[in-house]
Structures are given as C-alpha cells and as structure tokens.
Structure 1
Amino acid sequence: MSSAIDLHGQPHVDRYLETDGEDGFHWRNGTTILILFTKGRKSGEQRTHALIFREHEGAYLVVASKGGTDTPPAWFLNLQADPHVEVQIKGDRFPATARVATAAEKPAMWAKMTEVWPDYDEYQKKTSREIPVVVLEPVTQS
C-alpha cells in the first residue's frame, strides 16, 4: 500500500478519512493537510478536498490556487456560495466559516503559505486571476 504522500484528490481524502489523518496529514515537502467539506453549489452534495494548510491566529489558511489556472477551484466557488463548511484536521472535525483574506491581511498570510509551498508564487505568475488566501474560522459552540 502506497503512502498518502503519493496520493492526490479523492484517493488522498479517502486515505486521510480512513486513518484520521495518520496517513495523509503529513504530505510533501513538510506540508500538512486538512480536509475541507463544502456543499456543492449546484448539486447540494457534500464535497471533500485535501488542502495544504497553516494555522494562523486560531484560524486555518488555505490557498485557492488550482495550480495557477485562470479559473478558481470548484471548492472555492462552493464556499463562496455557502461559507458554512466543515474542516477535519487529523481526527478532529469541526464547523467553520470560510472567508477570503482582506487586502490588508493577505500579504502576511500569503508569505506564511509560500514558506511551506513556494510554488504558490509560481502559480500566481501563471494567471491574471488574483489567487485568494481563504481563512477558515472555527465556529465556537455556544
């Protein structure tokens, strides 16, 4: 059985969820992965995505890069339609609200993300689309 380091997309998500991140949390080049659960904006069905993340002031940052294509990833369009998402980090799954980093916040957040995945800078050079940093803020239970 190959390691999740060699997996992408749904096979990575499946392995991560099967093992509560034991296989799949640690990924390439020292990055860490969370699973983002969104609701399909057309289908209404749950969608899952394995994304590189970093913790930042009690929230979690992900980048909607899609490798620098001119169209954003489907998960980003889904969370724009419905920002109420769920996040799983290892075995911990919780509700969160997604928002795009503000112009004031983005430079520091972008730098934090490119520390672990320098390719984001190359992706940005490939497209005229401004690649957003998405902030996933855990919903506190009252």
Structure 2
Amino acid sequence: MTGFNDQVIEEFRQNKGKLGGMFEGWELILLTTIGAKSGKRRTNPLGYLEIDGKMVVVASSMGSPRHPGWYHNIRHSERVTIETGTETYEAIAAVPPAPERDALFAKVVAAEPGFAEYQAKTTRVLPVVTVHRIDDRVRGMGDFLVEVHDWLRGELKTLRAGVGEIVAGRADSLTMENSLHAHCVSFCEALTKHHTGEDMGAFPMLAQRFPSLAPALAKLGEDHVVVATLQRQIRELVEGYVHGESDPRRLRDDFETLAGKLEAHFAYEEETVVAALNVTAPAPQFG
C-alpha cells in the first residue's frame, strides 16, 4: 500500500489534484499528519465530502478491523496539512463527540452509500473527522480568550503601576491603597470567573474533539489550582499592606514574582488552545 499511495500522491501533485484510473472523478485531498510514534510527516490520499460547510473525512480503511494510521496520528497531534491540488494550507482535525459523529455519518452515507457498506464490514465504529482550515474563519473563541487575557494583563499592569506609586511615595497613600484594593478585587473575581468557565466548559469540549490536547488541558486544569493560590496571595499582599508599617519594596518584589507566574500561565494557555478554540466555536457577541 505504501508504494501504491506514493504513486497516487505523485500523480495527484503532478496533475493538480486530478487522477485517472480507479480514482477518476473522485474528490481527493492529500492529508499530511505527524506520525504518533515516528514524529515524521506522513501523507495519505483521502476521499472527502463537504457537509454543512465543513470538510469531512472518514477513517474507514474500506471497512478493515483497524483504524488507519492517519487517524491515530491526529489523535496524537491535531495539526495537519491539506493539499487540494491547487493549494496547500494548514488545518486542524477534530473528532466530533458521539452524537455529532452519528449525525455527520448519516449525512456521509446519504451522499456516499459505500460508507454504509464499509461500516457493515467491521465491528469498529468508523470515526468521522472534521477538518478546519486555520486561516479561513471568523473571529473565534480562541480570539475571545486572548481578549480576556489582555484585559487581565491590563489589570495586572494597573496593579503594578499602583504598587510602583506606593513604593515611590508619589501619591496619597490612602487613596492609592484604596484604588489598588479595588483593582485587585476586580482582577481576582474576573480571573476566577474566567478559569471556572474554562474548567467547566471550554476544556472538556476541547478534550472531546482533540484527544491530542488532553495532557495539556489536564496540565492547564492543574495550573488553575496553582493560579487560584497565586491570586489569593496577590490579594493578601495588597489587602495586608499597611502604610508606614509594611515594606513597600517587599510588596513590589513579591507582587512581581506572582504576576510573572500568572503571565506565564496566560502565554502557555494561548499557545496550547487558541487555534483549536478558534475552529471550534465563534466568539460570543455582546451588545
């Protein structure tokens, strides 16, 4: 099969996606994944369908008892490359949860009855995979997450500035301490709400659709526990500061340490989940 696939791939690329022989008239793509064990790029020619505006591929292997290698690969790494013959682009492959998979498979069978025959030949449930082009989308949930993070970063910046004013003695201490306290409360409440939403909604949804993200999502969940401790420490630092008694430089140094850890968490979260969130759901609209 490797030699056969290589011939198909070569013909596909030479003829801009057009194939003859047994594949004449077929809608094919080249799907390149990262090998789950080898870490090497693996390319497979696949038939696909357009359903509800989405590119859909089925891990049928013509009804064989085992999932094809490319399917195992996307469960290990969701980032893929798609070649259509006329263009090449980066995409994310998602595995819909069971009810959505069943609805999609019914539409697949309605369009291409042969997939029902493949399903009848095997006891395994044929996986249905949706492929989402990364650079072709509306403002997504990942963009919204970055916007929330940027607001939180802005609040941290305000808190930093307030601590700096206290250390420098450039402002009325009581007024500045009250303002600092108000910003701290606002920041901590918003951060708690944000992380609760991720733990209860966004992360479980991503774990279902992108199995490769499960370890990183578990780590982010653990990080949220650590962050909850950090924000409590930040609040205690600010609320516990007493002008004339507490050391303002220690307040500044401790605050910088905690804020740095929070910003590192934001950066890791964005690196890990933004792309997957963007192709999963549009950003919420307010107003």
TM-score normalized with structure 2 length:
0.42
> Which structure has the highest strand share of the two?
1
Task: Give, as a single letter, the amino acid of the residue that structure 1 aligns with 2:11.
Answer: R
Give, in whole Å, the separation in 1 of the partners of 2:124 and 2:11: 32
Residue of structure 2 in register with 1:10 after alignment = 6
Distance verdict in 2 for CA 1:10–1:104, change over 3 Å: same
Alignment of 1:33 onto 2:28: yes
Alignment of 1:97 onto 2:89: no
Figure out how many residues of one structure are paired with residues of the other and give that number: 133
Is the Cα contact below 8 Å between 1:31 and 1:117 reproduced in 2?
no
Alignment of 1:74 onto 2:97: no
Alignment of 1:109 onto 2:124: no
Q: SS at 1:105's partner residue? A: helix
Q: CA RMSD in A?
A: 2.3
Q: What do the CA deviations read for 1:15-42 (whole angstroms, capped 9, x no partner)?
A: 1112221336x935x4300110111111
Structure 2 unaligned residues grouped into runs of 5+: 137-142, 144-287
Distance verdict in 2 for CA 1:13–1:117, change over 3 Å: farther
Q: SS at 2:131's partner residue? A: strand
Residue of structure 1 in register with 2:277 after alignment = none
Task: Give, as a single letter, the amino acid of the residue that structure 1 aligns with 2:76.
Answer: A
Greater relative contact order, per chain length (Cα 8 Å cut-off, separation 6+): 1
Report how far residue 9 of structure 1 moved: 2.0
Identity across matched positions, percent: 31
Is the Cα contact below 8 Å between 1:58 and 1:137 reproduced in 2?
no
Give, in whole Å, the separation in 1 of the partners of 2:99 and 2:51: 15
Report how far residue 91 of structure 1 moved: 1.5
Give, in whole Å, the separation in 2 of the partners of 1:33 and 1:91: 12
Moved beyond 6 Å, runs of 4+: none
Task: Give, as a single letter, the amino acid of the residue that structure 1 aligns with 2:9.
Answer: V
Report how far residue 110 of structure 1 moved: 1.6
Give, in whole Å, the separation in 2 of the partners of 1:34 and 1:112: 20
Q: SS at 2:74's partner residue? A: helix
Is the Cα contact below 8 Å between 1:59 and 1:138 reproduced in 2?
no
Moved more, 68-77 or 52-61: 52-61
Give, in whole Å, the separation in 1 of the partners of 2:39 and 2:9: 19
Give, in whole Å, the separation in 1 of the partners of 2:128 and 2:72: 13
Q: What do the CA deviations read for 1:57-80 (whole angstroms, capped 9, x no partner)?
A: 443100001111121000100111
